[in-house]
Chain A
């Protein structure tokens, strides 16, 4: 099941801006290792879930995973074969707006090689260029 907000203040929102780099959520807050985005774009709830499943399957019930992003933004889509006009379409899915520098996932309690491989597999599910980051002073 893809991540989505339980309830929202407004059903539909405007496209908004994706300019600039991540000013918040750009450092490791919980774990020792992290997956940091280097490019920008929307990250759907399905992509977050796919990456989470990939990581947790690779870890084999070891370690602890933090998901640092949440898809707050609704994306609408008009049904197929419908003419333009007649208002905005219904909400199709939710996305997290990712800017360069945002930390997407964090891991702790596993070795660096396991964490690196888990994030490499997760990165393949994501529409971003990502990199592996390590907390300063962590035992590597």
Chain B
């Protein structure tokens, strides 16, 4: 834990959809702070300040000190969840989880690859991230901001799993040992689907026969002198007409 960030929060009393909308309209984000030893506390966070904080965080796992007016003690917490509108990208709600300095806690830490893979460099492979976040258990002082995975030796067809990670002092990986993190795979060849120009002889013969059936049926209808009969004749399908080739039309 290297970076110590501070965020100003204000308590809020009202809850629910309307109250939250009012908070958002006042350029703030409704938030909640909860922890193992404290009862949940409803808060609101100033949006521009939170955006500035997120820029500093930039894809790392960090602890944030919450500064609340009227409270001398700063609560140590981390961002458990950030709810965003998928279209407008506006922040809707924040979940902050309180942690104690001398207590183990669980958090999801981002994975960052280091170096250029041998497979990508020399074997035309593609580096595939199988896990973007890993669950760890540690004390706040031992929290790694990111989990660095060295991929320089990774060849095509190889995978780095959780069990192969370098141990970090005071940090326990909670994901299953066989969980893949990064793998180098061969690029998928583009499937070229060529249109078959020449169909099989049986199909080739059937198509013109079916095509010829329509004029034959039309001719039959006109011969009988009933124009309305043309539609049912066509509706009757090409198969019977094809079965009886053009015999009525010759009449």
A residues near B (Cβ < 8 Å) are 1, 21-22, 26-27, 32, 36, 38, 53, 56-57, 61-64, 100-101, 108-109, 135-138
Q: Which of B41-70 contact A (CB under 8 A)?
A: 58-60
Beyond A1-B193, A22-B86, A61-B124, 14 extra complex contacts between A and B, CB < 8 Å: A36-B86, A56-B190, A61-B189, A62-B126, A63-B126, A63-B187, A64-B128, A64-B188, A100-B87, A101-B86, A101-B87, A109-B127, A109-B128, A137-B60
A64 to B129, CA, bound (A): 10
Is B8 positioned at the interface, with any CB of A under 8 Å from its CB?
no
- Expressed in whole angstroms, the minimum distance between the Cβ of B251 and any Cβ of chain A is 27
Given known A108-B129, A137-B58, contact A62–B187 (CB-CB < 8 A): yes
Q: Which of A26, A36, A57, A61 contacts B187, CB < 8 Å? A: A61
Residues of B within 8 A of A61 (CB): 124, 187-190
Residues of A within 8 A of B127 (CB): 108-109
A137 to B193, CA, bound (A): 38
A136 to B60, CA, bound (A): 10
Q: Which of A26, A63, A109, A136 contacts B59, CB < 8 Å? A: A136
Is B180 positioned at the interface, with any CB of A under 8 Å from its CB?
no
Q: Are A135 and B132 in contact (CB under 8 A)?
A: yes
Given known A56-B190, A61-B189, A136-B59, contact A21–B128 (CB-CB < 8 A): no
Is B110 positioned at the interface, with any CB of A under 8 Å from its CB?
yes
Given known A26-B86, A38-B87, contact A137–B110 (CB-CB < 8 A): yes
Given known A56-B190, A57-B190, contact A64–B87 (CB-CB < 8 A): no
- Expressed in whole angstroms, the minimum distance between the Cβ of B238 and any Cβ of chain A is 13
Q: Which of B144-162 contact A (CB under 8 A)?
A: none
Residues of B within 8 A of A108 (CB): 126-129
Is B76 positioned at the interface, with any CB of A under 8 Å from its CB?
no
Q: Which of B98-133 contact A (CB under 8 A)?
A: 110, 120, 124, 126-129, 132
